[in-house]
A and B are shown apart, each in its own frame.
Chain A
């Protein structure tokens, strides 16, 4: 329940990132890696829909942008899932972590 409270706060407040907390939390609760990733998506789905409704009612939705980003995202998602099968080490995980830190620092200044 504690995990749920925390995941909801993060995803509602920042509009994302909940999955990155949800997956390790579910693994800690005893789920396998694949189960944790699958269950995390089912958890994130209603949370994202509920948060999106609140954002929409507060006037923060630009449908044109949503449409174009979605088109790119679906294509990228398919290519990414295909590439994942071909990856043999976690170099990308390191690159991702460093890019996220760099983006965070950049946003602070």
Chain B
């Protein structure tokens, strides 16, 4: 029956990821908390699951000319180096300690997301009210005036 729950966890993570929110950030705690998967294994699952989806998404975005290759070129090399270093380090950590650190990371990232959601709400409100106010206070003038 475990395959059923694993697919369900993937379905939920994919659903959240497809909506543009961190699918993996949620998939890892689902795997560890509800299915009892070891923290290291859950993190490896998340990394590998992202690869096929990521390849498809990159092909679509490249066709739509949405990728900035200059920025990619600047960021990718230091990111690769530190990612490999961090992955090597994590293998030496106890699973329980890693779980606690991941919990701290989740709390911080959640607070950051909350801040971004509030900011997006404020921006949305401004967009709705600004044109109405503009129209009432400053009626369109004649260009020759």
Contact = CB atoms under 8 A, between A and B. Distances in A.
Interface of A: 1, 3-22, 24, 26, 29, 31, 34-35, 37-39, 41-52, 54-56, 58, 60-62, 64-66, 68-84, 87, 89-90, 92-94, 96-108
Interface in B110-138: 110-114, 116-117, 120-121, 124
Given A8-B79, A65-B6, A92-B21, 18 more contacts: A4-B75, A4-B79, A11-B86, A13-B90, A14-B101, A15-B46, A16-B47, A19-B24, A38-B66, A58-B91, A62-B44, A66-B44, A66-B49, A68-B7, A74-B52, A77-B53, A97-B117, A103-B106
Nearest to A89: B124
A38 B68 CA distance: 8
Interface string B60-80: 011010111001101111111
Contact of B24 (A15, A35, A106): A15
- Determine chain B's interface SS by DSSP, over half rule: helix
A107 B102 contact: yes
Contacts of B11: 72-73, 75-76
Interface of B: 3, 6-29, 31-33, 37-38, 40-55, 57-58, 61-62, 64, 66-68, 71-72, 74-91, 99-114, 116-117, 120-121, 124
Name the residue among A22, A39, A42 with the largest chain B CB count within 10 angstroms: A42
Nearest to A80: B18
A1 B42 CA distance: 29
A67 B15 CA distance: 17
Closest 9 CB pairs of A and B: A80-B18, A15-B43, A76-B14, A72-B10, A104-B106, A12-B86, A8-B82, A107-B103, A16-B24
- Determine chain A's interface SS by DSSP, over half rule: helix
Given A29-B71, A50-B80, A61 B44 contact: yes
Nearest to A87: B19
A108 B110 CA distance: 14
